[in-house]
């Protein structure tokens, strides 16, 4: 279906801009009218941009699930509830998504089927849970669990950013300081040292050589990492083997790799517990979670666990054979499976990893700070030793 950009006006005279899928201008006008907007003008968008349309922010989904849960508990019909939510949304992109849901439900689809048609904003886990809630008559309870899960994911995402962004930020400062010293300060010191007429020691020659390279080819040093990242991304998207090796490399990184593994397994355990508690069969729950782990190595492990369970192994035995979880977690799964409370055991697994991630992030930050300080200090020490060494030699010869 083509994508249209539009300008419209609401009942209060406020202008609205946005994009929405429509068959033609007449269909566009009808869709906007359902959103209580009057079309001013619209035109088809020839492309959806380099990175596609923006996804709905997680915070908007949290509010959506919370308010829809409250309306469902109050006995408000889904269509009326969605209409009220659409009118109260400030995010234009999400307002269009909810309008599409309303249109699909009016066309005879269920809520889960309508959400499946908006797959970019509602993933397979979301749709599966809503479908389970509809079939069991526990939609409000499922929406409550979804709200809690989305809040947990939001907190987990912030912890992931701490792991990745802090070293990147401090590392960029070190790189910027290196460029400043090598391009601006060292060339000035080079003139002073060479005028002394001394034979330069090896470390001084190496320093001047690196400085000359950076002064002459500084743009290559800046563009090469960017080009390498684009090439790596292209290779990962096109070559499954490259993606597998890259994901394995990330998990094997010192300090960060272990934390990433715990974050992924925590997300898996939380999602699996959510699906299992909603009444979704184990094999289907594992198959659904494979799309949310975001790492091909872990996904292959889950595929192997699904195969083993399909062959007759119990959940504990399958995960033990795959080697995804440590012995303590396997023991928790065994107890949960034997007592019939596997969802509670998986929730405990998620809590275990989530707490471990917090502690690991704090430890990594405590380690990275002195490491980067030592790195910057070593760089400054190398520069000072390389520059002051010849000066000291001159002074020693003068004294003798």
- What tens digit of pLDDT does each residue of 36-53 get? 788 888 777 654 443 345
Q: Using alpha carbons, list the distances in angstroms from residue 193 to 123, 187, 198.
A: 64, 10, 8
Whole-angstrom distance, CA of residue 393 vs CA of residue 400: 11
Between helices 342-399 and 139-180, what is the axis angle to 10°? 10
CA–CA gap between residue 101 and residue 109 (Å, rounded): 9
- At 60-107, the pLDDT tens digits run 888 888 888 888 888 888 888 888 888 777 777 788 788 888 888 888
Residues with Cβ < 8 Å from 117, sequence gap 6 or more?
Answer: 100, 104, 109
What is the Cα gyration radius of the chain? 29
pLDDT in tens, 99-131: 888 888 888 888 888 888 877 788 888 888 888
Average pLDDT over residues 158-178: 75
- Checking if the pLDDT of 395 tops 70, the result is no
């Amino acid at each position: 279906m083509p994508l249209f950009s539009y300008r419209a006006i609401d009942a209060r005279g406020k202008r609205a801009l946005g994009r929405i899928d429509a068959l033609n201008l007449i269909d566009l006008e009808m869709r906007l009218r359902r959103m209580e907007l009057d079309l001013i003008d619209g035109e088809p968008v020839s492309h959806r941009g380099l990175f596609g349309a923006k996804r709905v922010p997680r915070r908007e989904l949290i509010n959506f699930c919370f308010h829809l849960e409250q309306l469902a508990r109050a006995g408000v019909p889904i269509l009326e509830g969605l209409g009220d939510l659409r009118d109260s949304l400030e995010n234009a992109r999400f307002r269009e998504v909810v309008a599409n849901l309303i249109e699909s439900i009016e066309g005879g689809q269920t809520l889960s089927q309508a959400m499946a048609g908006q797959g970019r904003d509602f993933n397979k886990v979301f749709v599966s849970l809503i479908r389970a809630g509809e079939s069991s008559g526990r939609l409000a309870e499922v929406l409550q669990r979804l709200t809690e899960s989305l809040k947990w994911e939001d907190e987990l995402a912030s912890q992931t950013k701490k792991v990745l962004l802090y070293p990147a930020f401090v590392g960029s400062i070190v790189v910027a300081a290196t460029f400043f010293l090598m391009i601006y300060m060292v060339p000035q010191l080079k003139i002073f040292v060479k005028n002394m007429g001394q034979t330069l020691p090896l470390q001084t020659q190496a320093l001047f050589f690196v400085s000359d390279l950076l002064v002459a080819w500084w743009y290559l040093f800046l563009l090469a990492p960017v080009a390498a990242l684009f090439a790596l991304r292209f290779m990962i998207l096109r070559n499954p083997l490259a993606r597998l090796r890259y994901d394995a490399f990330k998990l094997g990184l010192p300090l960060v790799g272990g934390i990433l593994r715990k974050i992924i397994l925590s997300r898996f355990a939380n999602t699996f517990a959510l699906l299992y508690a909603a009444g979704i069969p184990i094999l289907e729950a594992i198959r659904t979670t494979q799309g949310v782990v975001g790492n091909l190595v872990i996904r292959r492990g889950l595929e192997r666990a699904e195969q083993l369970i399909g062959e007759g192994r119990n959940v504990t035995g399958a995960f033990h054979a795959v080697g995804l979880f440590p012995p303590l977690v396997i023991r928790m799964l065994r107890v949960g499976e034997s007592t019939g409370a596997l969802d509670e055991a998986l929730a405990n697994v998620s809590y275990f990893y989530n707490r471990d991630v917090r502690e690991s992030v704090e430890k990594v930050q405590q380690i990275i700070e002195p490491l980067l300080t030592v790195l910057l200090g070593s760089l400054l020490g190398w520069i000072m030793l390389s520059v002051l060494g010849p000066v000291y030699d001159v002074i020693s010869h003068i004294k003798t």
